[in-house]
A = this chain, B = another copy of it.
């Protein structure tokens, strides 16, 4: 054990285990999580070469092998609870992905939710025994989130009772679905349904794409890998071009809409249930933001504790870089953010499960708020975490660029969350739509419920600079007062966006133009709303914590999170009259004080995230702090070191010399 990092741990002011239990949601959950982790980590079948040393084809190969093993292991251990499966897999996968991901996350759930009873009976056993390996083919080369724009067609032919699937243009080629390129033999294809000469919009069709015996592409199917990406090397995101591919009528998922044998189209009753799945996935991503950021912070903080650099005082040894204020200012607010997002993730998951119960009983009343919240928070947390991972990486100096730090892999694996499951700006605008609607309802005297109820409060309709009409400006040492300030800032920005929208309507040709011409304000309002929710939930979490020492350190973190946000957006708070200019200087000083207060607990705060070395897969983030020995060992395994002299020397350098 590196003595620097041991000393850090001795200095912690709180009991680590208590904090870890809070993060897990209870001591029993911690115990079970560790049990599952040990199953994977001690399993020789999951030992493999670092994927960074492999070619893309080898990585894909290793990932398929791992996926197949996970299936067998989960059965062997009898792990069937979805949360435990998720946990098992995330350890086994590490920072990498599995080509079967979409099979589990989209293909089987879609079959379950959109098949008739008869269809389910036919397809589910095939999917669960992996004879069918499926993907979900929605996005096209030229079309993303706007589903009405999708071009793939499924035309019903009553003479044979088949659908004929076509990709009529280059831009209609299905593009991006995970596992589509090489792994899947079926795809749920989203296509515009034509029957009896009419288009009935997007519907889902189970489409065989490869032979279940030979795995060769079927006639009329052009399928392949879309090529290398920024990360996700081990996944075969694919393309699919359909040329008059015929499938039986029964392959349309018919739980809701139907096409009868003669081609008569029967409308679906409602689509609210699919809406629920989307909300669930976005809520999960909030938790992913916390995980990606907490892993990155763990690596950066531990490394900063063992890394010595430059000198603070002449003649003294080089200090730990964690002692530099500039380093603390980069990393401690991110640790606070990781905690904040973790608690928000817990809240979203709990809320989703509560509301799901209501939905199953036909009560959809809370769904719109959760929908709006999950969209905005998905965008807010992924953007912040995305930038934060890079700050962590760059805080490690040169070594943060080495793949052995794991930080590049964490980044490339996480960054797509900013785009998939709803592009972030689109998400922010969805939340804004809900906020503006709520604001108008409040103005019309309606009593709002839930998180947006603050839009009812009279303080939210104050004019700029009317500080006197508010009880007081913020108390920068009081978290409750800061939560209020975030609330008023959000209210102010929602009001500004709504008013600008109203004003714009007088010049614009349409509602849609007015909306577009105020997108900047709308995104800003959503962002402030989400920021308020995060600060509020972090503060609320504190009241649940009994242990004094843990409460104390988390309170300091929460205050840091809140004040750091105020400092970054000080213009907003000044504009809303929530802050005075002299307070800005006080906040700067207070922030420095908070960094010093947190310094002794920095390592313990990331240790509490409880990532085992095998999960971080980072030489810089090692628990024992023995960074350099392991970097050297890792480097020796680089493929370029397999031979002492690379063949290019003989091929190019020797001839070059002879020509000069």
Contact = CB atoms under 8 A, between A and B. Distances in A.
Residue from A143, A176, A310 having most chain B Cβ neighbours under 10 A: A310
A171 B628 contact: yes
Given A224-B638, A465-B581, 5 more contacts: A64-B649, A65-B648, A130-B656, A227-B635, A571-B573
Interface string A543-586: 00000000000000000000000010111111101000110110
A660 B130 contact: yes
B309 A61 contact: no
22 contacts: A52-B227, A60-B648, A68-B655, A130-B653, A142-B307, A142-B308, A146-B311, A182-B645, A224-B638, A224-B641, A225-B640, A226-B402, A228-B402, A228-B638, A230-B408, A313-B510, A325-B516, A326-B520, A400-B419, A401-B419, A569-B571, A570-B575
A72 B588 CA distance: 58
Nearest to A61: B648
A271 interface: no
Given A325-B516, A629-B170, A227 B404 contact: yes
Nearest to A652: B68
A639 B56 contact: yes
Contacts of A648: 60-61, 64-65, 182
A307 to B, nearest CB: 8
Contact of A638 (B148, B226, B397): B226
A272 interface: no
A86 interface: no
A523 B401 contact: no
A232 B398 CA distance: 13
Interface in A12-52: 52
B520 A144 contact: no
A448 interface: no
B55 A313 contact: no
A215 B520 CA distance: 60
A607 interface: no
A575 to B, nearest CB: 5
Nearest to A416: B401
Contacts of A638: 181, 224-228
Contacts of A112: none
A310 B61 contact: no
Interface in A431-455: none
A10 interface: no
B416 A592 contact: no
A512 B312 contact: yes
Interface in A194-251: 214-217, 224-232, 236, 239
A139 interface: yes
B226 A312 contact: no
Interface string A514-525: 001111110100
A57 B649 CA distance: 12
A220 B86 CA distance: 50
Contacts of A656: 68, 71-72, 130
Interface string A600-618: 0000000000000000000
Given A425-B326, A516-B325, A660-B129, A225 B635 contact: yes
